[in-house]
Amino acid sequence: MLQAIALTKYYASIPAVQNLTFDLKAGQILGCLGPNGSGKSTTVKMITGLLEPSRGRVLFRGEDIRRDLVGFRKNLGYVPEEPNLYPYLSGREYLEMVGILRGIPQSRLGKKVDSLLALLSLHPSRHSAIASYSKGMRQRVLLIAALLDDPEVLILDEPLSGLDVSSAMVLKNLIRALGQQGKAIFYCSHVLEVVERVCSHLLILRQGTVLASGPTGDIQKRIGHASLEGTFHHLVEDVDPDKVTREILDIIRAA
Ligand SMILES: Nc1ncnc2c1ncn2[C@@H]1O[C@H](COP(=O)(O)OP(=O)(O)OP(=O)(O)O)[C@@H](O)[C@H]1O
Ligand SMILES: [Mg+2]
């Protein structure tokens, strides 16, 4: 459904992503993992068409997304890393605007928006300005906006960011269910525990390059660690978290 071919992005002369290739098929949930600064969001911005790659291409159903970005985006639901919403609109107004731009018929839109707002516990504040929303409330508005038009491709950059326990649980279940329905889902995170449980495939990045990719179980087996945490530390992490913690405590305590 969505293919990245040798994607590369330089910021000035510094490479953020290098030679990234993957093939996201319908029904797959591809977890993109990597430490801070490893190139996850840069990848997301390229595969949503927001950022032009320095090299490489993104194909949707075999066609370069840049040949028809508007057409591609009709099939795309995107949760960005930063919840940049219009602060002066209410949650309901924002979602209605998204629905209208996406061409959802007015007759269905209001009911759909109200039902989703209610299910994500936003109904009481639906008429308040987004400026007054908490971080988790903004994140829920973003999620509704991404799902509203039942897109074929979902691209989620840290979608659980700021969500409380029950909203996070609903979202994890939803992602799994949408995968089973045949959606193609690209899920960026550094929360290993979630990725492990939700994603059928993994793409592990470090300093903009792919360290490992393939079915989640295969990667774990290949590395020989029972949990993804072990796999991840084996592949990616240079730091010893216990040692760093001790050193920070020593410095804080020092007179
Ligand atoms: N607009 C930009 N201009 C210059 N450098 C950038 C820009 N955006 C990202 N970078 C650099 O590219 C690299 C990858 O950043 P990116 O945001 O893709 O990482 P990430 O994996 O999403 O990290 P995080 O887990 O913190 O969200 C980093 O070194 C970052 O400093
Ligand atoms: Mg990021």
pLDDT tens profile 61-81: 999 999 999 999 999 999 998
Q: How far apart are CA 154 and CA 146, in angstroms?
A: 8
The first and second tokens of residue 101, run together, are 């731009």
Residue 230 has pLDDT above 80, yes or no: no
Nearest-atom index, ligand 1, CA of 45: 18
Q: Which of 9, 32, 33, 38 to mutate to test the pocket of ligand 1 (most atoms within 8 A of CB)?
A: 38
User: Average pLDDT, whole number, for the chain?
Assistant: 89
Distance (Å, rounded) from C-alpha 148 to C-alpha 191? 25
Cα 104 to middle of ligand 2, angstroms: 30
Smallest CA-to-CA distance from 81 within 171, 3, 162 is with 162
202 compared with 222, residue with greater pLDDT: 202
Mutate to test the pocket of ligand 1, among 13, 41, 157 (most ligand atoms within 8 A of CB): 41
CB of 80 sitting under 6 A from ligand 1: no
Ligand with an atom nearest the CA of residue 40? 1
Ligand closest to the CA atom of residue 15:
1
- The model's pLDDT over 116-157, given as tens digits with 9 standing for 90+, comes to 999 999 999 999 999 999 999 999 999 999 999 999 999 999
- Token readout for 140 is 């829920």
Beta sheet of 14-24, edge-to-edge order: 14-24, 2-11, 55-60, 63-64
Which domains, and CATH codes, for the chain? 2-75+151-253 (3.40.50.300), 86-150 (no CATH)
Percent of the chain with pLDDT over 70: 93
Long-range CB contacts (within 8 A, 24+) of 48-53:
48/73, 48/76, 48/78, 48/155, 49/73, 51/9, 53/7, 53/8, 53/9
- How far does residue 80's CA lie from ligand 1's centre (Å)? 14
| 16 CB within 6 A, ligand 1 | yes
